[in-house]
Amino acid sequence: MSESDFRDYVKTEALNVYSLKEKKLGEKFLRDFEKYILLRVVDENWKDHLHEMDMLKEGIGLRAYGQKDPLMEYKQEAYHMFVDLLDNINQKVLEMLWRTQIVEAPREHRYAPPRLMLVHNDATNLGYQSSDDAPAPQRELSDIQKAGQQRSQKTQPIKRDMPKVGRNDPCPCGSGLKYKKCHGKT
């Protein structure tokens, strides 16, 4: 078998396997999955490419020491990096498409999050309670209103005995240093 015949054979077999996968999963699902993989791989590789371009921009000025035009060197390097980016994207997308096996989980094992409800009256458990432990809506509103009234009654303005010490004023302890160098350091 020649190299071109072998290449054609592998290509037809791969397309047959992919069409079977498409029949099994459904055409719409597979197209959505392809889009997801493509966007994910492009996003990851584009971030890396931008970082590499920044590094190239920082170091390209050193080419002038070698009697080369930095602008021409930058253009050539950037072009080669972009071609490598496209090749890398194509390779990773195909690799993920062919290696990913999609299996549907049985219904009884699927994760179902518990029903949660936000409660504002205290910070217990970050304010969440499960729906089984939740109070009745009438009682919950009155509790929230009571907590708001209690907070407003507790808060009173702070009154100073002496005026506030500025950062550059002398420290009140009598050390002769500025407040920011003495007791205001912390």
Q: State the DSSP code for 157.
A: -
CA distance 145 to 161: 35
17 and 92 inside one domain: yes
CB 52 within 8 A of CB 74: no
Task: Specify the pLDDT at position 21.
Answer: 87
Predicted TM-score of the model (pTM): 0.51
Residues 83 and 134 in one domain: no
> Rounded mean pLDDT of the chain?
80
Find the DSSP H helices in the chain.
3-25, 27-59, 70-99, 137-154
Res 172: pLDDT: 85
Read off the pLDDT of each residue in 88-116 and give the average, rounded to a whole number.
75
Q: For residue 132, name the pLDDT band (cuts at 50, 70, 90).
A: low
Main-chain dihedrals φ then ψ at residue 110, nearest 5 degrees = -70, 145
Same domain, 56 and 131: no
Evaluate whether residue 58 is within a structural domain: yes
On whether residue 38 sits in a domain, the answer given is yes
Bridge partners (DSSP) of residue 116 are 130
pLDDT band at 117; cut points 50, 70, 90: low
If one counts the domains in the chain, the total is 2
69-92 pLDDT, tens digit per residue, is: 888 989 999 999 999 999 999 999
User: 94 lies in which domain range?
Assistant: 3-102
Residue 163 lies in a domain: no
pLDDT of residue 139 exceeding 50, the answer is: no
Which residue in this structure is represented by tokens 């160098």? 181
Asked if pLDDT for residue 141 goes beyond 90, the answer is: no
Hey, how many other C-beta atoms are within 10 angstroms of the C-beta on 45?
A: 17
CA dihedral 24, 30, 31, 33 (to 10 degrees): 170
Written as one letter, the residue type at 52 is: E
More confident residue, 120 or 18: 18
Q: Are residues 122 and 87 in the same domain?
A: no
Q: Is residue 96 domain-shared with residue 121, that is, in the same domain?
A: no
Looking at 22-162, which runs of residues are DSSP E strands?
Answer: 116-118, 128-130
Q: Do residues 11 and 3 make contact, with C-beta atoms less than 8 angstroms apart? A: no
The least confident of 32-41, 66-75, 90-99, 135-144 is 135-144
Same domain? For 90 and 47 the reply is: yes
Confirm if 129 and 119 have CB atoms less than 8 A apart. yes
Average pLDDT on 152-177 reads 81
Q: Does residue 92 sit in the same domain as residue 65?
A: yes
57 part of a folded domain: yes
25: Cα within 13 Å, side-chain hemisphere: 20
Return the CATH number at 64.
1.10.3060.10
Does residue 31 sit in the same domain as residue 80? Answer: yes
